[in-house]
Amino acid sequence: MSQEVQFQILPEEATDDAFLKERIKTELHISNDDFTFEWKKRSIDARKKIIKLNCSFTVYSQEETPETGISFQPKNVKDCPPVAIIGAGPAGLFAALRCLEIGLKPILFERGKDVRERRRDLAILNKEGIVNAESNYCFGEGGAGTYSDGKLYTRSKKRGDVEKALQWFVEFGAEKDILVDAHPHIGTNKLPQIIVAMREKIIEQGGEVHFGSKLTDLNVENDQVKEIQLNGSEWFAFEYVILATGHSARDIFELLHRKGIQIRAKSFALGVRVEHTQDLIDRIQYHGRLNDDYIPPASYSLVTQVDGRGVYSFCMCPGGIIAPCATNQEEVVTNGWSPSKRNNPYSNSGIVVSISPEDFPGKENDPFVCLDFQKYIEHKAWEAAGKTQKVPAQRLLDFVQKKKSVDFPRSSYQPGIVSVEMDAIFPPFVVNRLRQAFSDFGKKMNGFLSNDAVVHAPESRTSSPVSIPRNPETYEHIQTKGLYPCAEGAGYAGGIISAAIDGMKCAEAIKEKISGGKLY
Ligand SMILES: Cc1cc2nc3c(=O)[nH]c(=O)nc-3n(C[C@H](O)[C@H](O)[C@H](O)COP(=O)(O)OP(=O)(O)OC[C@H]3O[C@@H](n4cnc5c(N)ncnc54)[C@H](O)[C@@H]3O)c2cc1C
């Protein structure tokens, strides 16, 4: 029988297998060398000055072999029932992969381009400030998850589902470390080839993937989806449609509303993206320990309450870059990414305030109330930045002390930065909470509240400001049969892993409907 063992070691001991074997012998009172072991989990404990690694191992006796477990078992689905999947983000891709396992034919329609072509549009956006409304950091193969940090942790409690999603990432080329690390991450440089491998598998097994294919209309008869329209012209018959279009597909929310398909306003979070040097964050989090090969660039997670409302850090990217994530020319949006080694000299995170429909008295029932506010802030930022993709910015201490910044340290945001006071962009109920939260965070992390840090605005695409209601058991839209609102854009996921899991669940719900409850 295999056994599990946990203990703490110094980070520099983690790669010394002989040391680890001796330590396991001591911990488990084993007197011989007739066993093998493999890492199970690993996390940094930096609470005290001497940094430790929490580790756990599975230990196998000589006769046992570690389970390799085939995690992904596709079938040829060429002649299986077709399912239209709109959007090739993590949700759409994982829905398609799950279709291959359970005998459905996935036909993926993505408005953007494949990952290679998409990279060119991102270069133009970064260098010339030109936003391609169909191909940007949010739209295109792999969705918003492609050029991201690729952090794969989630608050989802369903361990089995999370393990499965992580194993599929490994199946398509991610490092096995993501199965072990407490805070797994892939990195922008490695995600594109993983996504290409997923696409190739979908096609090889009889599915289809179409780029430049934007859903523009739906034909619904007697509350049942009958057809989808692509690119404003061609119609295709489909009885099952997974709508995995993400939080930035505003035209989809408008389309559903126009068709009388119910949508609802949803809370989201809004704020700024703050950038420090990574050295500063390492020094704070690792008690002065710097440039160390044995410990990863430090991260942080901060939360406080200001006037009865949560303000918190979001999508923290150690060794990262702040990216221009607008999906239209006349708006400015920030987000962050990191390469796999997280070796840029900067660290950034969103610091955001929760916004809810109740913030707009009298308009709580307007499904667009939060989306309109999000749009308004993004447009205001664009105007404040001189109607360019430059980003409004303010030194952190200047922001807290209500002073305009006269100059800046270097920023990772490639299109450039413009000095703007945050009060010119956000209303008082947001900006005052952010100001107070930064003061609180300065007390929690000594040195965080530094004038060498810069806030960039806005961080506004944290989650969808609209939800598309569905039946929690069947996953179908509450009134429209055959329509499966999926993942982040519909309000059922936040992040790559939870979106991927929701995609798989939507595929399963369709199979169960077709086959009267059976998955296989
Ligand atoms: C820069 C950046 C960094 C991020 N970092 C992380 C991170 O480290 N970890 C993490 O967990 N999350 C991260 N996120 C968030 C994460 O990417 C999203 O939560 C996740 O991608 C949501 O998946 P989804 O499939 O629901 O939607 P999306 O990824 O948004 O995919 C939706 C897809 O649908 C397509 N689409 C939209 N409308 C249409 C239409 N009408 N017709 C056809 N196709 C359409 C879009 O082009 C897009 O490809 C980051 C996001 C960004 C922008």
| pLDDT digit string, tens, across residues 295-339 | 999 999 999 999 999 999 999 999 999 999 999 999 999 999 998
State the pLDDT confidence band at 64, using cuts at 50, 70 and 90: confident
Alpha-carbon separation of residue 24 from 30, 67, 213, 224 (angstroms): 8, 20, 55, 60
Atom index in ligand 1 nearest the CA of residue 93 equals: 25
In ligand 1, the atom with minimum distance to the C-alpha of 463 is 19
Can you tell me the distance from the alpha carbon of 487 to that of 98, in angstroms, rounded to the nearest whole number? 15
Q: Which residue has the higher pLDDT, 288 or 498?
A: 498
Measured in whole angstroms, the distance separating CA 505 from the mean position of its chain's CA atoms is 18
Instruction: Please give the helix or strand (H or E) that residue 242 lies within, else none.
Output: strand 241-243
Of the candidates 324, 466, 296, the residue with the CA atom closest to the CA atom of residue 391: 324
Ligand 1 atom nearest to 248, measured from its CA = 30
Q: What is the pLDDT of residue 370?
A: 98
Task: Tell me the residue ranges of DSSP E strands in 76-214.
Answer: 82-86, 105-109, 208-210
Ligand 1: centre distance to CA 209 (Å):
17
Share of the chain above pLDDT 70, in %: 99
Atom of ligand 1 nearest to the CA of 92: 25
- Measured in Å, residue 501 CA sits from the centre of ligand 1 at 14
Rounded distance from Cα 145 to ligand 1 centre (Å): 5
Rounded-to-integer distance, Cα 274 and Cα 450, Å: 11
Spans of all domains in the chain:
3-61, 82-264+466-515, 267-360+373-459
CA of 90 to the centre of ligand 1 (A): 7
If one counts every other C-beta atom within 10 angstroms of the C-beta of residue 356, the result is 15
Helix (H), strand (E) at residue 334: strand 334-337
Closest atom of ligand 1 relative to the 146 alpha carbon: 17
Residue 488 CA, closest ligand 1 atom number: 26
Cα–Cα distance, 137 to 36 (Å, whole number): 44
Between residues 63 and 43, the one the model is more confident about: 43
Q: What is the pLDDT of residue 71?
A: 83
Ligand 1 centroid to 107 CA: how many Å?
18
Give the model's confidence band at 11: pLDDT under 50 very low, under 70 low, under 90 confident, else very high.
Answer: very high
Neighbour tally for 219: CB within 10 Å: 15
> Where does the pLDDT of residue 202 fall: very low under 50, low under 70, confident under 90, or very high at 90 and above?
very high
Distance from the alpha carbon of residue 87 to the mean position of ligand 1, in angstroms: 9
**Residue 67 reports pLDDT greater than 90:** no
For the ranges 66-70, 132-136, 256-260, 276-280, the lowest mean pLDDT is seen at: 66-70
**250 C-alpha to ligand 1 centroid (Å):** 13
- Nearest ligand 1 atom, CA 255: 41
**Going by CA atoms, what residue is nearest to atom 46 of ligand 1?**
139
Query: By the 8 A CB rule, do 147 and 137 touch?
Result: yes
Ligand 1 nearest-atom number relative to CA 145: 17
Q: Distance between CA atoms of 149 and 447, rounded to whole angstroms? A: 25
Residue 80 scores a pLDDT above 70: yes
Name the nearest CA neighbour of 115 among 81, 83, 140, 80. 140
Which residue's alpha carbon is nearest to atom 47 within ligand 1? Answer: 139
With the most atoms of ligand 1 within 8 angstroms of its CB, the residue from 107, 137, 149 to mutate is 149
Residue 68 is predicted with a pLDDT of: 66
Return the pLDDT at 53. 96
Q: Which residues on neighbouring strands pair with residue 304, listed in sequence order?
A: 311
Contact by Cβ (8 Å): 399, 424: no
Q: What 3 state SS string does 26-61 have?
A: HHHCCCCCCEEEEEEEEEEECCCCCCEEEEEEEEEE
Mean pLDDT of 117-145: 96
pLDDT tens digit string along 214-269? Answer: 999 999 999 999 999 999 999 999 999 999 999 999 999 999 999 999 999 999 99
Q: pLDDT confidence of 359, banded at 50, 70, 90?
A: very high
The set of protein residues with a Cβ atom below 6 angstroms from ligand 1 is: 86-92, 109-112, 137-140, 143-145, 147-151, 214-215, 244-246, 249, 252, 315, 323, 325, 335, 337, 487-489, 493-496, 499
Is it the case that residue 157 has pLDDT exceeding 80? no
Whole-number Å distance, alpha carbon 246 to ligand 1 midpoint, is 5
CB atoms within 10 A of CB 216: 16
Residue 453 predicted with pLDDT over 80: yes
Which candidate, 77, 71, 84, 72, places its Cα nearest to that of 103?
Answer: 77
Distance (Å) from CA 404 to ligand 1 centroid: 34
How many Å lie between the centroid of ligand 1 and the Cα of residue 453? Answer: 28
Of ligand 1's listed atoms, the one at least distance from the Cα of 216 is 41
**3-state DSSP call for residue 302?**
coil
Per-residue pLDDT at 148:
81
Across the chain, mean pLDDT equals 95
Task: Give the pLDDT of residue 150.
Answer: 78
- Among the atoms of ligand 1, which is closest to the Cα of residue 251? 41
Candidates 93, 107, 110: which one to mutate for ligand 1, based on the most atoms within 8 Å of Cβ? 110
- What order do you get walking across the sheet with 224-230 strand by strand? 215-221, 224-230, 234-237
What pLDDT is attached to residue 215? 98
Under CATH, what is the fold of the domain 82-264+466-515?
FAD/NAD(P)-binding domain (3.50.50)
| Bond from prior residue into 458 cis (ω within 30 degrees of 0) | yes
Please name the residue whose Cα sits nearest to atom 9 of ligand 1. Answer: 151
Return the pLDDT at 188.
86
Residue 69 has pLDDT above 70, yes or no: no
Instruction: Indicate the Cα dihedral angle 309, 47, 163, 511, nearest 10°.
Output: 0
What distance in angstroms lies between residue 138's CA and the mean position of ligand 1's atoms? 6
Distance, CA 89 to ligand 1 centroid (Å)? Answer: 5
Q: What is the 206 CA–ligand 1 centroid distance (Å)?
A: 25
Q: What is the mean pLDDT of residues 16-37?
A: 95
Q: Which residue's C-alpha comes closest to atom 5 of ligand 1?
A: 148
Tokens of 509: 């719900």
